[in-house]
Amino acid sequence: MATTINFEEIVNGDVYTFVVGSEQKLYTSVHSAVLSRISEPFAVMLSSGMKESKDKRVVLLDVDPDTFRLVLEYAYTNFYRPPVVEIKTGRGYHHEEGSENPFDTSKDPHFCGFCGSDQWSLFCWPKCKNASAEVIADKRLQGRTGSEFGKYLQEMSQGKVPFSDIRLHARLYIFATKWIMTGLQEMSLHRTHRELANRWLTEPFEQQLCDTIREVYGNTSAADQESSGIGSEMRELLLTYTFLAQEKLVKYKEKSPFKAFLLEGGEFLADFTRKNLEADESLRKKRAEAKKERYERWWNERKTT
């Protein structure tokens, strides 16, 4: 749900106080119109005679203040700016030369009108904007081996775009999924995708990645992986990333946060194992087909001689 409202509707509408997080931080004078515009559940809560609409006070203890601040920024501006994370240069893992970016269609930077940065080709922008499971299943991405993808991760140059904590994007996605904020859901998914595409697999980022997967799997549904809007898109993004990057995540270090995370078990481990088994089965089928084709060629050549 996303409707257009004018300035007069905002300033003349009701204002609310939001009590946020375990520390119960107060956000006062929040205009109900901006949240109602992007979320039908909020629209109902703030205008249907419920307790919150009478008290002009909403308690949200299951979201942290940093995340809610970005939700409000998006509600007012249709964009959000997470704090910039300083990244030290240097390679954290094994590196080899010779791969291209599997996420992009061009080596030349172009402005992306969806997220406001300049790493994506304009030809890639519609896919970049949608940033759904269909985008993650792009043939250019699926065609890469884990090794090729790992090389690409190490080749990405630093400093081209400001980095942010991937966990914030995921928390926004979780909040947007719960409150049916489709626009924010798409944007946070897109920016998680971009963050994954532009970060080196250093140990601190690997820990962030594990924390992100843990939060996403703990707060989204896998009831129907074919449906959108229930959290499965973010799960699929993180699963595909770790599947393609697993050589870097588990092979080149004796101990790693990702290895420790896998030992926790749970839904992600089941999905990760399933994806690897499916890949092995696909490879076996391709080898069997290639063997059959070679035999048929040999047999046809023999018949003609």
Strand blocks (E) in 38-181: 57-60, 84-85, 163-164
Q: What residues does 164 pair with on adjacent strands?
A: 84
CA 167-76-229 angle, 5° bins: 50
Predicted confidence band of residue 34 (pLDDT cuts 50, 70, 90): very high
**More confident of the two residues 129 and 74:** 74
| pTM exceeds cut of 0.85 | no
Structure confidence at residue 258 (pLDDT): 93
Residue 128, Cβ neighbours under 10 Å: how many?
A: 24
**More confident of the two residues 60 and 302:** 60
C-alpha 243 chain-centroid distance: 14
CA–CA dist 156, 143 (Å, integer): 19
Helix (H) or strand (E) holding 31: strand 25-31
84-121 pLDDT tens trace? 877 654 444 433 333 333 344 344 444 444 444 444 43
Helix (H) or strand (E) holding 17: strand 15-20
Predicted confidence band of residue 222 (pLDDT cuts 50, 70, 90): confident
**More confident of the two residues 297 and 109:** 297
C-alpha 304 chain-centroid distance: 56
- Owner of token pair 């909403």: 58
Length of the chain measured in residues = 305
